[in-house]
Structure 1
Amino acid sequence: MRLEGNVAIVTGAASGIGKAIAKHYAAEGARVAIADLNGEAARAAADEIGTNAIGLTMDVTDEAAVNAGVEETVKRFGRIDTMVANAGIQIVHPIEDFPFEEFRKVVDIHLHGSFLLTKACVRHMYPQKSGSLIYMGSVHSHEPSALKSAYVAAKHGILGLCRVMAKEGGKHGVRSNIICPGFVKTPLVEKQIPEQARDLGISEKDVVEKVMLGRTVDAEFTTVEDVSEIAVFLAGFGSNALTGQSIIPSHGWYMG
C-alpha cells in the first residue's frame, strides 16, 4: 500500500483519467474525494470504491464550490495530502471561427479551475508542512496542434502554474508536478476524432494514425493506467527532490 494514510481530492473524477486515478489511489490505501460537475456520477464512482471515497458536486470555475468541496473533504477525512487538478474539456475550431465564449470556457475550466483548487488546498497543506500538487497537463503543455488554441493556451498556462507552485510551495514542504500525457483513449479524445476530421478535411482514420499517433514510436495510445501509475508515484514521493517537473507519458510523441 503505497498511499496508506494519504487523503486525495481529484477533480473531473467521475470518468476517464480522473476516475482511474481515484480508483488507483484507493487501491493503494488512500482516502479519496471524487469531485465532478456531475455530482450523481461522482457519487456513483465513490460508491464503486467504497467507504474510503466520497463523491462531490463541484464546478471548478466556481470559487465557492471549490472551497466547499475541499472543506468537505477535510471534514470527512481530516486533512488533504494530494490534489489532482484534472477537470477539463476540449473544444476545437480554427481560430478565425473560435467563439470567444467557447475559448474562455476551455481556459476557465482547465487553468482557472487548477488555480482555484490549488488555492483551496494549500490552505491545508501549508500548515501541515506537506502535500503534493498534481496538475493534469498534456503534451500540449509543450507542443502545439492546429485547431486547439484554447486547449494549448490553457495547458501551457497550467505548466507555468505548476512551476510557480514548486517555487512557492517548497518552503512549506509542498511538491508540485504536472503529468503531460499524449493522446489517451477517453471520451474527451474520442469526441475530437470526428471534429478534427471535419475541420482538417481528412478521414477519421487519418486523424488517429497521422494526427494523434503519427509521431509516437509505436502508434499506440497512452492508457489511463499509464497516467494513474504516475499519479500514484507523484502522490507518494517522499521529498522535494522531485518538484516543478513535467512527466510526459506519450509513447515518445514529445521528448522533453
Structure 2
Amino acid sequence: MKLQDKVCIVTGAASGIGNAIAHRYASEGGKVAIADLNIEAAQKAADEIEARFGTDAKAIVMDVTSEEQVNAGVQSVVDAWGTIDVLVSNAGIQIVNSVEQFAFSDWKKMLAIHLDGAFLTSKACLPHMYAQGSGSVIFMGSVHSKEASPLKSAYVTAKHGLLGLARVIAKEGGKKGVRSNVICPGFVRTPLVDKQIPEQAKELGISEEEVVKKIMLGQTVDGEFTTAEDIAEVALFFAAFQTNALTGQSLVASHGWYME
C-alpha cells in the first residue's frame, strides 16, 4: 500500500478527475477528504470510497476562493486525522471567450478558483506538513500550463501561474521534506470538457464533432482522450514518491498532444 494511513485532501473531488484521484488514493490505503462546493455530492463520494475500500473518507464543504472556508476545512481534517500528508489542488472551472470579449468578472473568477485556490489550500496545509517534516503538494495544471489556445486567456494564464507557485513551494519546502508538483493533463472527458464543446463550436463556427476531432484531439498521436484514471495514476506517483528528486517538476499526460 503506497499511501497507507496517509491523510490526503483532494479539492473538487466530488466528481471528475478529483474523484478518480480520491478513489486511487483510497485504493492504496490513504485517508481521503473530499473537499467540494457540493457537500451532498462530496458526502456521496466519501460514502462510496468507504464502502468500496474500507478506508476512512470524509466530506468537507470548501469554496477554495474563501480563506475562511479553506482554513476551516483543513483544520477539520487535522482535527479528525491529526495531520495533512498530501494536498491535491484540483478544483477548477472553464470559461471560454476571446480576450476583447472576456468579462473582467469572469477573468477574476477564473484566476481566483485556479490560482487563489491553490495558494490558499497550500498556505493552510504547509504548516502541518512542515511540522512533521514531510508532505506532497500537487497542483492540477494542464497542457495549457505549457501551451496556449484561442478563447482561453484566463485559463491559460492561471495554469501557467501554477507552475511558478509549485516551484516556489518546492524551493521553500525542500529542506522541510515537502515536495511540490504539477500534473498537466490533455483533454479529459469530464463535465468541464463537455461544457466546452458546444461553447467552442459556437465561438469558432464549426460543428461539435469538429471541435472534438480537430481542436481537442487533432494533435494527439491516436485521437484518444486522456482518462481520469490516467491522471489518478500520475497523482499517485507524485504523492508516493519518496525523495526530492522530482520536486518542482511537472508532468504532461496528453496522448502526445504536447511533448517536452
2:43 is matched with 43
Residue of structure 1 equivalent to 2:12:
12
Secondary structure class of the residue paired with 1:68: helix
Q: In structure 2, what residue type is equivalent to 1:58?
A: M
Partners of 2:238 and 2:83 in 1: how far apart? 18
In the alignment, does 2:194 pair up with 1:190? Answer: yes
Tell me the C-alpha RMSD between the 2 structures. 0.7
**Residue number in structure 2 paired with 1:107:** 111
Aligned-residue offset at 1:88: 0.2
1:29 to partner: Cα distance: 0.2
State which of 166, 172, 178 in structure 2 corresponds to 1:174.
Answer: 178
Partner Cα distance (1:235, 1:133) in 2: 8
Quote the Cα distance in structure 1 between the aligned partners of 2:45 and 2:149: 33
Q: Which residue of 1 aligns with 2:2?
A: 2
Alignment of 1:154 with 2:158, yes or no, is: yes
Q: CA deviation at 1:113?
A: 0.2
Name which of 121, 124, 138 aligns with 2:128.
124
Kindly indicate whether residue 228 of structure 2 is the aligned counterpart of residue 243 of structure 1.
Answer: no
Displacement of 1:61 in angstroms is 0.2
Stretches of structure 1 lacking an aligned partner (at least 5 in a row) = none
Q: Which secondary structure does the structure 2 equivalent of 1:156 belong to?
A: helix
- Kindly provide the CA deviation profile for residues 195-218 of structure 1, in whole angstroms up to 9, marking residues without a partner as x: 000001111111011110111111
Match of 2:205 in 1: 201
Equivalent of residue 94 in structure 2, options 70, 90, 94: 90
Q: Secondary structure at the match of 2:185?
A: coil
- Distance in structure 2 (CA, Å) of the matches to 1:29 and 1:202: 46
Cα distance in 2 for partners of 1:52, 1:40 equals: 17
Shift, 1:187, TM fit? 0.3
Among 143, 149, 153, the alignment partner of 1:145 is 149
Which amino acid in the other structure matches residue 137 of structure 1? G
Which residue of structure 2 lines up, in the alignment, with residue 226 of structure 1?
Answer: 230
> Deviation per CA, 1:131-189, whole angstroms, max 9, x where unpaired?
00000000000000000001000000111111111111101110000000000000000
> 2:58 aligns to what?
54
Task: State how far apart, in whole Å, the 2-side matches of 1:52 and 1:16 are.
Answer: 20
- State the identity %: 66
Q: Structure 2: how far apart are the matches of 1:161 and 1:143? A: 17
TM-score by length of 2: 0.97
Q: Equivalents in 1 of 2:173, 2:216: separation in Å? A: 35
Correspondence 1:59-70 to 2 at 5 A = 59-70=63-74
Amino acid at match of 1:13: A
2:221 and 2:100 mapped to 1: Cα distance?
A: 33
Aligned-partner Cα distance in 2 for 1:190–1:159: 25
The DSSP-based 3-state class of the residue aligned with 1:248 is strand
Counterpart of 2:28, as a letter, is E
**Separation in 2 of the partners of 1:227 and 1:72?**
27
Q: Which contiguous aligned blocks of 4+ residues in structure 1 show a shift greater than 2 angstroms?
A: none
Aligned counterparts of 2:37 and 2:233: Cα–Cα separation in 1:
24
Q: Letter of the aligned partner of 1:219 in structure 2?
A: G
Q: Which residue of 1 aligns with 2:221?
A: 217
Cα separation, 1, equivalents of 2:257 and 2:148: 12
Q: 2:219 and 2:172 mapped to 1: Cα distance? A: 35
Aligned to 2:253, the other structure's residue is in SS state coil
CA distance in 1 between partners of 2:122 and 2:240 (Å) = 18
Measure, in 1, the Cα distance between the counterparts of 2:108 and 2:216.
24
